[in-house]
Amino acid sequence: MRSIMKLEKKTLLPLVVGASVFTLGFFAMSAAGAGTSPTDGSGQPRAAGPIVETAAATLAERSYQIEAPGRLQAWEELTLVAEVSGKIIYVNPKFTLGGRLQKGDVLFRINPADYVAERSRAEAAVESAEATLVQAKHANRRQQDLVKQGVVSEAAKDTAIANLAIAEAGVSQAKSQLQRATENFARTTIVAPFPTLVAQETASVDTYVAPGQALATLLDTRAGTLVAGLSPEKAAAVSRMLKAGSGRLKAVAKTNSGSVGSGVLTGYIERFAPKVDEASRSALVVAVFPDAFDPANDGRIFANDFMTLEITVQSTDTVWQIPSGTVRKGQFIWVVDNNTLQRRDVTVVRNLGDTALVTSSIPLEGAQILMTLLSEESEGLKVRTLPSSMLAAR
């Protein structure tokens, strides 16, 4: 009897262990299933794939600003060089670094004594040559008459004609020398060729200068120009605005992180350059700022300084505002449609930091735009979007 009871205990032991394992497995699977329920919060079947977060596009104004970096230049920058040699005898007190002068103001003078003497000699040479010409003309007429009378030979007439030609050439040469002497004398007085801001100068009284010697760098203060490179999309937008013919297209130049100055300029777009920039393969646009070098901007605006060009344009397409991080490679976004990724090509018209303004050939109204960055993204990829209740909790 005792042996039979032992046998029954041995026989029941595996059954008890098996039942325990089955029960634990059932509860484990139930617990696991609670985290991966085949239905979402609304009771609908849940799609397979990674859980992603999406954002909606909002409608933006069709007018927007495009920006491009550039460098502010003077309307004209001139390196002033001496054209004649001599000692400087006068320098305008305003002809100093940062000095301002009007067009026609005398900048400095070179001792003209030698050039006055040269011009006097040239004037005397002209008078002498003209007197010789008068004699040659009279002699030629006499010889012509004598030849007709048969008094002199044809050779004498030819000599008179040759002497007349030589006299005429002498007058031309003397007048050329007088013109040169007059120009050299004028070059001893150097005047401002335009409203001038002195950017650099080395001239001083009693300094001897030679032809070709650089004496100053002058900036034309009539206006400043800024040349900036635009991408094809930005260039097309600006070109469209210029062709609209609604007056001058407004432009603004602002300082940036690379600027020395601190001012803001208002001007207009003048034109496009005829060639693209070879390095960046961008279209070059020229903006003009009439007040760039006004005295009021001293210490705030500088020639050759980096500035950002800002142009307000109007889009012919609907403009949408979306999170910047949703744009892939600056060319497209992913839209979640029926739990499936679909590519939508976009054109970024302006980056605002956290958000971007884009246009798209397909309206983005109501679209769920993928925000989550997946390790693999492809057309038709199945994903799961976070329910609105979970988004609110986050």
pLDDT at position 255 is 95
Residue 284 has pLDDT above 90, yes or no: yes
The string of pLDDT tens digits covering residues 174-233 is: 999 999 999 999 999 999 999 999 999 998 999 999 999 999 999 999 999 999 999 988
Reported confidence tier of residue 159, pLDDT bands at 50, 70, 90? confident
CA distance linking residue 267 with residue 263, whole number of Å? 13
Q: What is the β-pairing status of strands 264-272 and 368-370?
A: unpaired
CA distance linking residue 85 with residue 62, whole number of Å? 63
149 or 44, which is more confident? 149
pLDDT at position 45 is 54
The string of pLDDT tens digits covering residues 249-272 is: 999 999 999 999 999 999 999 999
Q: What is the pTM of this model?
A: 0.69
CATH 3.40.50.720 fits 66-75+222-314, yes or no: no
- Domain ranges across the chain: 51-62+317-393, 66-75+222-314, 112-187
In CATH terms, the fold of domain 112-187 is: Helix Hairpins (1.10.287)
- Comparing CA positions, the residue from 261, 276, 291 lying closest to residue 228 is 276
Buried b (16+ CB within 10 A) or exposed e, 242-272: beeeeeebebbbebeeebebebebebebbeb
Contact (CB, 8 A) for 238 and 270: no
pLDDT at position 309 is 97
Per DSSP, the three-state class of 257 is coil
The string of pLDDT tens digits covering residues 356-393 is: 999 999 999 999 999 999 999 999 999 998 754 455 55
Selecting from 2.40.420.20, 3.30.300.30, 3.40.50.300, 3.10.20.600, what CATH number does the domain 51-62+317-393 have?
Answer: 2.40.420.20
- Comparing CA positions, the residue from 130, 161, 132 lying closest to residue 144 is 161
pLDDT at position 393 is 53
pLDDT at position 39 is 52
